[in-house]
Structure 1
Amino acid sequence: MTSVYREPLYDVAQLGHTELRTPDLEASARWFTEVYGLYTVAEDRDRVHLRAWNDDVLSSLTLVASEQSGLGHVGWRTVSPQALDRRVAAIEAAGLEGRWVDDSFGHGRAYRFTAVGGHEMEVYFETEKYRAPAGEEPALPNQPQRYDPHGVAATRIDHINLLVPDVPASRAFQEEVLGFKLRERLEPTPDTEVGAWLSLMTKAHDLALTREPADTDGRLHHLAYAVESREDVLKAADIFMENGTAIEVGPAKHSRTQGFFLYVYEPGGNRVEVFAGGIHIHTPDWEPVVWNTESGGRGSAWGTVMPASFMQHATPPLPV
């Protein structure tokens, strides 16, 4: 039996961190720590660096004071310094011009570039691991810190969803240049791809690309952190309710990825997801699943109707 099989790339290992812009840095930082359950590791007048309790790196999220909400950049960590050099060469060979940045918080030099789709991205290898201070050491040495949950208790950074004008073009770049593996895609009609879910290793997805409905680019749909179980997503709904955070949709189950979800907006206007579960892919020759409807016409696996805002809201918001 013969088939066309592209040799997979494993130079990029994981979603390392994101930078979110917010017009209300104080409110956003307070929400992410007190409600979402992250921890502050450093801050200054314009930036707050955060981490989840099971992130092994020093910081997975930076909030930046800005006039508008939206994505500053997203960072992808490579498996080695040599892999970083290979991916930089591939990015430049694809016709994209970037620059080296060596003053980032919590990690070493990074190659920053604008990806197909208009989003600022960077690739890097050297990173600072989190070391628990005295008195906060974990009981189990294979955890980065002592388990001391508060708020939603977001466990770790999980994935990001970006809006792009041309899903096939952006997907091709991510696959061919950075080594993402296509897991699922949404194609309502032949040759009309409006969504793609890609991962780097075995997760359901590290990156989702969905079609931008407006004549613009570089916008963020949502950032997601994982929690440990479905029950934690249900608990998050109660925590949001008690803290006055309006729930956009959920808890419910996704058709694609099969993850359990809950969506809200943080005070700066960025959409944030609480995510649990999702399929894990271990077969090396996975055949991407093609969806031609939203799971038989439903907005989610169990028939939960996705509100209009889910398709219309993104950051930065469009001018009125």
Structure 2
Amino acid sequence: MALTGVLRPGHVALRVLEMEPALKHYRDVLGLIEVARDDKNRVFLKAWDEHDHHSVVLREADEAGMDYMGWKVDSPATLKKLAADVEQSGLATEMSWIPAGEHPATGERFRFTIPTGHVMELFAEKAIVGNNCGTDGQDINPDPWPDGLKGIAATRFDHCLLYGDDLDGSVKLFTEVLGFGIAEQVMLAGDKKFMIGAFLSCSNKAHDVAFIRQPVKGKFHHASFELRSWEQVLRAGDILSRTKTSIDIGPTRHGITRGETIYFFDPSGNRNEVFSGGYIYYPDKPVITWYDESLGPAIFYHDRKLNEAFLSVFT
């Protein structure tokens, strides 16, 4: 069966305190490619192996964090249907249609706020600009990668981890309305029905978005960018050290998702991750359950203990 409905994460919009240091980080260290600027002083970027016009939006503001996360769906008809489903669910607030062109090269978007306080968008259309590997930049006789890559050279925007209070409501919306599956969950050992964290997939990835229950609304833990191997994660660690980028933890491995990882901060304090590995997820795969007493190896499998900053620092 073909992948339908919500296809994948499409973009993340981040607030940064100063644009030029942020651009130096996202372009020169992380290796994203600037594709556009608009009259709202936003900068639009993409990872090299993404074909859509952009996946990261930066906006200068007085406070760091995430403005919204966008999800690409398979067609305009699906966009209309899912928007109606979200409206009828009673689980979303502050719903609105954003006209085509408000993001460059992007069709209309349906925006809504989920129970954890995060703003989400659905969209169906964004210009395909390619990855510049093939003849004349097209997907014809392509090379494995293009010339001119910088820094870590992340291949794509992969997922976000978000903090919020009404975890149950957001999980219900994503699973029952938007069609996501729960790949992994973290439960309270003393109350095995009380969910602490959920790792949700709309694809064959171990997760496309994750939520952790915290007594806050709409907080951003990290945006993750994909690499192709553990070796590339180690190389990323070298680049982060050479550029004196603030590292949170890693390189290491997650127990949850099995992915290899390193966490670090942009100059505004937004946490980034580069991530590789993980398993293939199918909808019939049994849900993996962790309990809070095993959170150490669940999050950092090698150290088997929690980094307090990982839990308490967010924007």
Q: TM-score when scaled to structure 2? A: 0.90
Amino acid at match of 1:264: F
Q: CA deviation at 1:148?
A: 3.3
Residues 198 and 208, structure 1, Cα contact 8 Å, conserved in 2: yes
Q: CA deviation at 1:131?
A: 4.3
Q: Distance in 1 between matches of 2:226 and 2:304?
A: 21
Residue 97 of structure 2 corresponds to: 100
Q: Distance in 2 between matches of 1:179 and 1:105?
A: 28
- In the TM superposition, 1:231-246 aligns within 5 A as 231-246=231-246
Q: Distance in 2 between matches of 1:142 and 1:208?
A: 34
Q: CA deviation at 1:236?
A: 0.5
Q: CA deviation at 1:306?
A: 3.2
Residues 49 and 131, structure 2, Cα contact 8 Å, conserved in 1: no
- From the two aligned structures, give the one with the greater helix fraction: 2
Q: Percent identity between the aligned chains?
A: 33
Q: CA deviation at 1:79?
A: 0.8
Q: CA deviation at 1:188?
A: 2.6
Residue 81 of structure 2 corresponds to: 86
Q: CA deviation at 1:288?
A: 0.9
Residue 286 of structure 2 corresponds to: 287
Cα 1:109–1:234, aligned 2, differ >3 Å: closer, same or farther? same
Match of 2:33 among 20, 24, 39: 39
Q: Distance in 2 between matches of 1:68 and 1:171?
A: 27
Q: CA deviation at 1:177?
A: 1.3
Q: Deviations over 1:114-136 (max 9, x none)?
A: 11211111101011111467997
Amino acid at match of 1:289: I
| SS at 2:257 equivalent | coil
Q: CA deviation at 1:297?
A: 4.8
Amino acid at match of 1:77: K
Residue 205 of structure 2 corresponds to: 203
Q: CA deviation at 1:147?
A: 4.5
Residue 179 of structure 2 corresponds to: 179
Q: CA deviation at 1:244?
A: 0.7
Please report the RMSD computed on the Cα atoms of aligned residues, expressed in angstroms: 2.3
Residues 11 and 71, structure 2, Cα contact 8 Å, conserved in 1: yes
Residue 61 of structure 2 corresponds to: 66
| SS at 2:188 equivalent | coil
Q: CA deviation at 1:293?
A: 3.9
Q: Distance in 2 between matches of 1:314 and 1:85?
A: 33
- In the TM superposition, 1:35-184 aligns within 5 A as 35-44=29-38, 46-95=41-90, 96=92, 97-102=94-99, 103-131=102-130, 137=137, 141=141, 146-184=146-184
Which stretch shifts more, 9-18 or 245-254?
A: 9-18
How many residues are treated as equivalent by the alignment?
Answer: 305
Match of 2:16 among 3, 15, 22: 22
Q: Distance in 1 between matches of 2:141 and 2:87?
A: 41
Q: Distance in 1 between matches of 2:85 and 2:3?
A: 12
Unaligned runs of 5+ in 1: 1-7, 316-320
Residue 3 of structure 1 corresponds to: none
Q: Deviations over 1:182-207 (max 9, x none)?
A: 11000032222110000001100000
Q: Distance in 1 between matches of 2:143 and 2:10?
A: 17
Residues 138 and 144, structure 1, Cα contact 8 Å, conserved in 2: no
